[in-house]
Amino acid sequence: MTSPISFRSLLSPTATFKALAEATPNPMRVLFSYAIWLLLLPPAFAWLGAYAFGWRLGAENPLLLSPATLTLISIGYFALLVFGFVTTAIISRWMASTYGASDSLGLHFALIAVVGTPLAVASVAHLFPHVFFNVLVLIPTMIWSMYLLYKGLPIALRIPPERGMLMASSLVGWLLVAAVSLLGITVALWASGIGPSLGV
């Protein structure tokens, strides 16, 4: 059965979660027919914005990178997004047995895709790559995605709201650990000379 998710999920997430509760989506179909397009948006917007304006990191002058460097960074960005999406769906499925939720991998792929849709769309902020502007746009969007996770998880996975809250909190914990780990890895790589030079 095909997945009921589409970009309309952004406008009617509750209906989408209810439709998912009755569906058995194929994980590869969810990934390649919907999620992959979401995952392409942030790197594409980041490349275009950084090429046109350069990144503003709080200094007077923007950080300008060559198209080749921007392409490598965008490919890495995309690869990390795909890895994060797939591993989060797998972790969600792994947690499912603890909370009595559905263990359909396709359903977990679809759930994470719907919850991540606002963040992917809001990455249009990367077209103006100023750190403050991006934080201003993406933090409220992240709160929206977390709201969708807490609201939609128990509906889509067919579990009581209290169990859904606990499972959603566990997933948020996983995402926070992953984000902090990624920041640490990035700092370590840049400190060892792997990455764009920030020298004046």
pLDDT digits (tens, 9 = 90+) for 20-36: 988 888 999 999 988 99
pLDDT digits (tens, 9 = 90+) for 54-78: 887 766 678 788 899 899 989 989 9
pLDDT of residue 85: 95
Listed residue (134, 164, 135) closest to 152, CA to CA: 164
Q: Residue 93: pLDDT band by 50, 70, 90 thresholds?
A: very high
pLDDT of residue 32: 92
144 alpha carbon, distance to own chain's centre: 12
- The mean pLDDT value for 101-112 works out to 93
pLDDT digits (tens, 9 = 90+) for 134-175: 999 999 999 999 999 999 999 999 999 999 999 999 999 999
Residue 175 contacts residue 181 (beta carbons within 8 Å):
no
Asked whether the predicted pLDDT for residue 112 surpasses 80, the reply is yes
Name the amino acid, one letter, at 65.
L
| Distance of alpha carbon 91 from alpha carbon 95, whole angstroms | 6
Residue 38 contacts residue 141 (beta carbons within 8 Å):
no
Whole-structure pTM value: 0.87
Asked whether the predicted pLDDT for residue 94 surpasses 90, the reply is yes
pLDDT of residue 1: 43
| Distance of alpha carbon 39 from alpha carbon 174, whole angstroms | 19
Residue 138 contacts residue 122 (beta carbons within 8 Å):
yes
Question: What is the domain partition of the chain in residue ranges?
Answer: 7-191
Residue 40 contacts residue 121 (beta carbons within 8 Å):
no
Secondary structure letter of residue 33 according to DSSP: I
pLDDT of residue 138: 92
